[in-house]
Amino acid sequence: MPLADARARVPGLLVVQHDPVADAAWLDRLALGCNRYTPLVAIDAPDGLILDIAGAGHLLGGEAALIDDLEARLARLGMTVRPALGPTADAARALARYQTRPAPDEAQAVRRLPVAALELDPEATTALVRAGLKTIGDLASRPMANIAARFGADAANALRRILGDAPSPLDPRIAPPPVTAERRFAEPLGSTAHATKVLAELVGEAMVELGERGKGGRHFRATFFRSDGLARSIAIETGHPTRDTALVMRLFAERMDGLADPLDPGFGFDMIRLAVPRLEALGATQLKLEGGAVRDAKMDELVDRMTTRLGRGRVRRLIAADTHIPEQAQLALPAIDAPPPEPWQAPEPGEPLQRVPSTSSTRRSRSRWSPKSPTVRRTSSAGGGRRMRCAATKAPNASPPNGGAAATMAG
């Protein structure tokens, strides 16, 4: 309908500019808030959410009570929803978008859906309607082989998914973490300080589970669910696997203090969840007598705190690269992800330094610490010019740098 006709019919119509980016961000926030019901929440862009509530209905007294609670929370945010339950993700999505008449059960409701619920291309949908197949039930009464031969394999596959005969996988917004700990409250918490204390308890519970698995956490994510339906997530990372509760809480404190938008409880937090999505093996270690391990741990802790406060892209570590181009000899990687530098293997005191004779073509002298150690090349003198090759990523016949000029360096 044109905007002029709509304003003529509804004089008080409020018109706003469509902002797809803002709509996607708002849908993402709603999906985060729906994580209170299940960790398997998928975004059905541009205006839908799919929740896998299998095994989660008992938390609120059944699936009907869960739907009522979800509708009430979204209504407080000014949202109008059309919820639907189905045996598969495709069936629930079709019922929410295309169901127009009530049905005694889910199976009958799916069979009464129009063939447009298969969401095929317009030509295929028109061909189905012209053939007298107007509902899913009409199409399901025909052999699948005939449907695939006449209307294409896509129609048969879509019909199988919506009937539950073929898998209908769900792509969750956030993959379920291997370790979680959560706390629900009968009365919402109105203080951020109290919520931080509860978070410390959850971190302690997660560390106990990590210890039983022989693992350490590298990524920790705390989600604070507000009673009005919104949620706020705060994540931290560590450079090495850890089970240190005090260290994790210090990093959370650093992140909360540096938030541009402080953590606001609103009408209170009614649920707090801690997730550890990234685990690595962490066994018992023995400290060195000279204290090297203690110094390394202090340095790792400093890198974690600086990364948490400044951002992972602002704290970098230089890593040597295998290239002959001087400008690319070192890579600046995030310090929290970069491997630790390899320690230099110093020679033993009194170990003789052996001299390797130079060749006749190049007047070089080479030295090494011992016959078993790698050769350390040292150039004493060299003559003549050498041509620097291009990067290995270019074609073999590519021109050298600086417009094809040969770079000559004296020995």
Comparing C-alpha atoms, which of 165, 144, 159, 306 is closest to residue 238? 306
Q: What is the DSSP letter of 332?
A: E
Answer whether residue 252 is part of any domain. Answer: yes
Inter-CA distances, 11 with 1, 6, 17, 78, 143, Å: 15, 8, 18, 22, 53
321-378 confidence digits (pLDDT tens): 877 787 778 888 888 777 766 666 666 776 666 655 555 444 444 444 444 544 444 4
Q: Give the per-residue pLDDT at 257.
A: 87
pTM of the model: 0.66
Section 105-119 average pLDDT: 91
In the chain, pLDDT over 90 holds for what percent of residues? 38
Q: Give the per-residue pLDDT at 292.
A: 56
Answer whether residue 219 is part of any domain. Answer: yes
- Phi/psi-derived region of residue 119, left when phi > 0, alpha when psi is between -120 and 50, beta in every other case: left
* Residues spanned by the domain of 266: 179-309
- Are residues 131 and 236 both part of a single domain? no
Answer whether residue 172 is part of any domain. Answer: no
Q: Give the per-residue pLDDT at 240.
A: 84
- Are residues 190 and 293 both part of a single domain? yes
Write out the two tokens for 394.
Answer: 């270019």
- Are residues 46 and 140 both part of a single domain? yes
CB 139 within 8 A of CB 159: yes
128: Cβ–Cβ under 8 A, 6 or more apart, which residues?
A: 115, 120, 134, 139, 151, 155
Residue that wins the pLDDT comparison between 95 and 260: 95
- Are residues 21 and 142 both part of a single domain? yes
- Are residues 80 and 122 both part of a single domain? yes
Residue that wins the pLDDT comparison between 409 and 400: 400
Q: Name the domain boundary from 280, 309, 338.
A: 309
Q: How many domains does the chain have?
A: 2
pLDDT for residue 50 is more than 70? yes
Comparing C-alpha atoms, which of 182, 175, 269 is closest to residue 229? 269
Residue that wins the pLDDT comparison between 204 and 292: 204
370-400 confidence digits (pLDDT tens): 445 444 444 444 444 455 555 554 444 544 4
- Are residues 248 and 295 both part of a single domain? yes
- pLDDT mean across residues, the chain: 81
Q: Name the domain boundary from 263, 283, 309.
A: 309
Q: Give the per-residue pLDDT at 406.
A: 37
We report the CATH number of the domain holding residue 279 as 3.30.1490.100
Q: In whole angstroms, what is the distance from residue 66 CA to residue 59 CA?
A: 8
Q: What is the 3-state secondary structure (H, E, C) of 197-229?
A: HHHHHHHHHHHHHHHHHCEEEEEEEEEEEECCC
Q: In whole angstroms, what is the distance from residue 243 CA to residue 354 CA?
A: 48
Quick check: helix, strand or coil at residue 331? strand
- Are residues 239 and 101 both part of a single domain? no
Section 221-233 average pLDDT: 91
Section 206-228 average pLDDT: 92
DSSP 154-203: HHHHHHHHHHTSS------SSPPPSEEEEEEEEEEE--HHHHHHHHHHHH
Confidence of residue 294 (pLDDT cuts 50, 70, 90): low
